[in-house]
Amino acid sequence: MSSKIFNNPILPGFYPDPSICRAGEYYYLINSSFSFFPGIPIFKSKDLVNWKQIGHVLDRPSQLNLDGAAYTGGIFAPTIRYHNGTFYVITTNVDNGGNFIVTAENPKGPWSDPYWLDDAPGIDPSLFFDDDGRAYYIGTRSKKEPKYFGDQEIWLQELDLNTMKLVGESYALWDGALKNAFFPEGPHLYKINGYYYLMIAEGGTDHYHSVTIARSKSILGPYEGNPGNPILTHRHIGKGYPISNPGHADIVETQNGQWYMVALASRPYGGYYKNLCRETFLMPVEWEDGWPIVSPGTGRIEFTYPFPNLPEYKIDKRENRDDFDKETLDYVWNFYHTPRENFWSLTERKGHLRLKLSSLGLVEILKMPPYDAKYERRKEIILDCPSFIGRRQQHMNFEAHVKMEFKPQGENEAAGAALIQNNNHQFRFEYTVENGEKVIRLIKHTSKVELDFAAKTFNYENLEEKLAQKAFASEVIYLKVTARGQDYSFYYGDSLESMKPLIENVDGRILSPEIAGGCSGTYIGMFASSNGKHSDNMADFDWFEYRGEK
């Protein structure tokens, strides 16, 4: 056993629903991306611990339509598999189109445009390639006559790889381990030592989440549940344990015959609040009497384990600071919705990220018409991508700095930094005009229904003091956000040396899904808005720095 250890989570921050595959000596891992573009981040490793992001699976508008998507809509629960030299990713766009497959020969891309699957209801699709060369779709769907909310079943149908169409009959395989199992979903099928193993999630994605497994000698069943189910859950430990709601897992065998599981879980802090939401964890797996034992000896996710018996994958350490001196955005950055307008540029002013002010604010409540069973929207395309570029908050304790140049022309114009949980739960740390004066202010937005602001305005007490401080003379603004657990503090100045507090120790729990709802994690980034009015103004960001603490 290795004397070296690794630390969990292996992907901190909002990286839920992990799926993993091996191709030779390399491992590839993907996650759900919901309403953020580009979609489905993809990572590469040789040791299962150190992961390098090599791109996104869905990085073109032709692949990823997020128009009108809710914050926790968009892309759900992708699966990655490698078969005969081709990589396959299957997933669901719950707002626009339903279930689809993309393929690539190189996992860095380019990935194909979607192969849409007709008559494939439900979410959380997976793929299985059998020894005889046949391929299968495994998914989650509601029963024909559901008896309660979440009364679902796992189903299977053959997939023709030449036409990328489902063929033949569909078969219900299993409806979970518990009596009246709640939301059996996230299925993966494996063939190990002559058995077909069907591993799923149950109990919803919050506190009662779990991983269960069944097996059969025939791919069509009947499937017998593991008498030791669930094979992973923390619901019996209580809410005081520092890792909660594990589930939605995938397993992989190393070239050395070891088995490991990746699963989502959360780290509550400041009470049972999860600003970072669902992260990716790694656990060892052993087989006993034909069934998998997860985290042998404890049965729960631990923060440390012995390092896998694999060569260490040395990767270049990611820079904490982005100077925006490249012609493309770093993989860490995302947009909210598909960017269909040229509101940003890395080339108009060299060494800067330029954001043009968008009339769309960050708190717009999107009015989305209903969709049919195939998830096809009955609407025209809406241009609803705000002028916002953000990255995940990945640490409970962090510091983020940004250098911005911006000259607001009116009270509707604002630019700065934002911490966003969803449309209606966010902090906006902005430079704007208020009552004829240019001010730095923090707006705390917490309304779940109305667009009422929970806000405070901060300014110097009088003009003489402003002039004495020489604040904002050049309209170069430095903004700083720090978090120490759930205490968020906000600082500003006209240089790094002159930073002063605007407000300190603001309660950050509004950035947790427990208050905001949904199941996404906090994003932090830069924005520019004219809040409902047309503007030709813009904000230039010289650099953005994020430093997390363990």
Catalytic residue check, 17: yes
Of the candidates 17, 158, 202, 399, the residue annotated as catalytic is: 17
In angstroms, the CA 396 to CA 215 distance is: 40
| 9 close to 280: Cβ distance less than 8 angstroms | yes
Return the CA Rg of the chain.
24
Given the residues 175, 185, 413, 540, the one annotated as active site: 185
The Cα 364–Cα 150 span in angstroms is: 30
Active site residue 185: yes
| Alpha carbons 310 and 256: distance in angstroms, whole number | 8
Q: Determine the 3-state secondary structure of 378 from DSSP.
A: coil
For the chain, helix, strand, coil in percent to 5 are 5, 45, 50
Q: Is the peptide bond before 184 cis (omega within 30 degrees of 0)?
A: no
Length of the chain: 550
Exposure class string for 69-107: b at 16+ Cβ within 10 A, else e: bbbbbbbbbbbbbbbeeebbbbbbbbbbbbbbbbbbeeb
Q: Residue 360 and residue 300: Cα distance in Å, rounded?
A: 45
How far, in Å, CA of 517 to CA of 510, rounded? 10
Q: Is the dihedral of CA 388, 394, 248, 262 positive or negative?
A: positive
DSSP letter at 496? G
Number of Cβ within a 10 Å radius of residue 345: 16
Sheet holding 86-93, edge to edge: 75-83, 86-93, 98-104, 115-116
Partnered with residue 126 across adjacent β-strands are 138
Is the alpha carbon torsion for 492, 498, 503, 509 positive or negative?
A: positive
Residues noted as catalytic: 17, 185
